[in-house]
Amino acid sequence: MRSFMGRDILSLKDFERNEFFRLFEICDRLAPIARDRRNTDLLAGKTLVTAFYQPSTRTRLAHEAGMIRLGGQVTGFADAKMTRAGDFYQESIKDTVKMLEFYGDVIVMRHFQQGAPHEAAKWASVPIINGGDGWGEHPTQILTDLYTVLTEKGRIDGLRWLAVGDMRMRTMHSLAHGLTQFDCPITFVSPPDMSLTDEFKEEIKGYSLDYKEAEHVEEAIADADVILVEPVVQPDYTKSRDERGEDVGMTPANYKITRELLETKAKSDAILLHSLPRMDEIPPDVDITRWSRYWQEAFNGVVMRMGILASILGAME
Ligand code: CP
């Protein structure tokens, strides 16, 4: 198995099956620290740099919280507009990371341009973690989701997935790549103008993903062991910031998971994931149901980032 030490985490296309399990095992060992709200000194003397060119609550703060739990330090920016990349100079990724690499030992980057973290990795002498790049990928979120499935269901292989939302989303791309390493058939349900692109379908053809597409969640929910939902009412991910306008659409019933739908159609032991933030695709009355696992997913988001940071900085080799 390849070592995680010094490695960039850019895409789940890069991940081999045994590497998923190795990372999950490391997360199992670190989870008690987060659960007990303790800090350790595993990464004492190491610094994480957060370079966020797009808004984030979870991804940035879960990386920061994970680093702090492991005894490391954090520096960085959450508003690129206050850096030289976001003003008159529009400083390039290359010039920016040639600075950031001296400010810490690992960089987590979110960017509105697909491929920006890959460009950063070309120039940086420290590992780069992709915290979401445009419509590209969001590998650490789907690692979190797969780990949540493992902890909640005891296995990943043999489970049927239903993914609902905008299939152009970076999470959906990472999900499709990730599931190629498991025995997990998946049904994608999305509005026609948000379906898997022909280009992406061509790309995953080579990876034997067992998938089909459906028009309405009601067609697919009864078979699903894992239901993963993302918004269909959402911002433009190619922009650094997309403010909410006057007219915000409502999620059509085809892409909505309601309490009634779960109670009448879903398997009683299915689990419901959402990386959040949400619009109205999962109403709040679903939160306190036996299907909901998004708060566990949020906790696991910290554990997974601890696992990634400890692995790539060589503390858990
Ligand atoms: N799930 C997720 O990526 O959330 P943030 O945009 O808040 O980081």
Q: Residues 229-245: what's their mean pLDDT?
A: 88
Atom of ligand 1 nearest to the CA of 301: 1
Any ligand 1 atom below 6 A from CB of 58? yes
Q: Pull the structure tokens for residue 262.
A: 């779960």
Contact at 8 Å (CB) between 200 and 136? no
> For 57-108, how does the pLDDT look when each residue is reduced to its tens digit (9 = 90+)?
999 999 999 999 999 999 999 999 999 999 999 999 999 999 999 999 999 9
Q: Is the pLDDT of residue 172 over 90?
A: yes
Question: How far does the centroid of ligand 1 lie from the alpha carbon of residue 58, in Å?
Answer: 5
Evaluate: CB of 144 within 6 angstroms of ligand 1. no
What's the confidence (pLDDT) of residue 4? 97
Q: How far does the centroid of ligand 1 lie from the alpha carbon of residue 60, in Å? A: 8
In this model, does residue 228 exceed pLDDT 90?
yes
Domains 12-135+300-312 and 139-233+250-298 share a fold: yes
* In the chain, % of residues over pLDDT 70: 100
**Nearest atom of ligand 1 to the alpha carbon of 57:** 7
Question: What are the residue ranges spanned by the domains of the chain?
Answer: 12-135+300-312, 139-233+250-298
Best residue for ligand 1 mutational test, from 53, 54, 58, 166 (most atoms within 8 Å of Cβ): 58
Q: Dump pLDDT digits (tens) for 274-288.
A: 999 999 999 999 999
Atom 1 (ligand 1) nearest CA? 275
pLDDT value, residue 118: 98
- Predicted confidence (pLDDT) at residue 206 exceeds the cutoff of 90: no
Widest CA span of the chain, in angstroms? 56
Architecture of domain 139-233+250-298: 3-Layer(aba) Sandwich (3.40)
Residue 182 is predicted with a pLDDT of 97
Q: Is the pLDDT score of 317 beyond 80?
A: no
Task: Label residue 207 by pLDDT band (50, 70, 90).
Answer: confident
Mean pLDDT, residues 140-144: 98
pLDDT surpasses 90 at 14: no
CA 275 / ligand 1 centre spacing (Å): 7
**CATH superfamily of domain region 12-135+300-312:** Aspartate/ornithine carbamoyltransferase (3.40.50.1370)
Q: Could you tell which of 61, 275, 297 is best to mutate to test the pocket of ligand 1, judged by most ligand atoms within 8 Å of the CB? A: 275
Residue 210 has a pLDDT of: 95
Look at residues 218, 159, 215 and name the one whose alpha carbon lies nearest to residue 189.
Answer: 215
The closest-lying atom of ligand 1 relative to the alpha carbon of residue 59 is 8
- Mean pLDDT, range 115-133, rounded to an integer: 98
- Average pLDDT estimate for 159-188: 97
Cβ of 261 closer than 6 Å to ligand 1, yes or no, is no
Question: How large is the average pLDDT for residues 304-308?
Answer: 98
**pLDDT surpasses 90 at 203:** no
Q: Kindly list the distances between the CA atom of residue 308 and the CA atoms of 18, 39, 214, 221, 311, in Å, as whole numbers in the listed order.
A: 15, 16, 34, 32, 5
The sign of the torsion formed by the CA atoms of 159, 310, 127, 296 equals positive
Given a cut of 80, whether residue 208 has pLDDT beyond it is: yes
Task: Confirm or reject: Cβ of 278 under 6 Å from ligand 1.
Answer: no
Q: Does residue 50's CB lie within 6 angstroms of at least one atom of ligand 1?
A: no
Any atom of ligand 1 within 6 Å of the Cβ of 57? yes
What is the residue with the minimal CA distance to atom 3 of ligand 1?
Answer: 59
Residue 276 Cβ inside 6 Å of ligand 1? The answer reads yes
Residue 298, ligand 1, Cβ within 6 A: no
Res 204 pLDDT > 90:
no
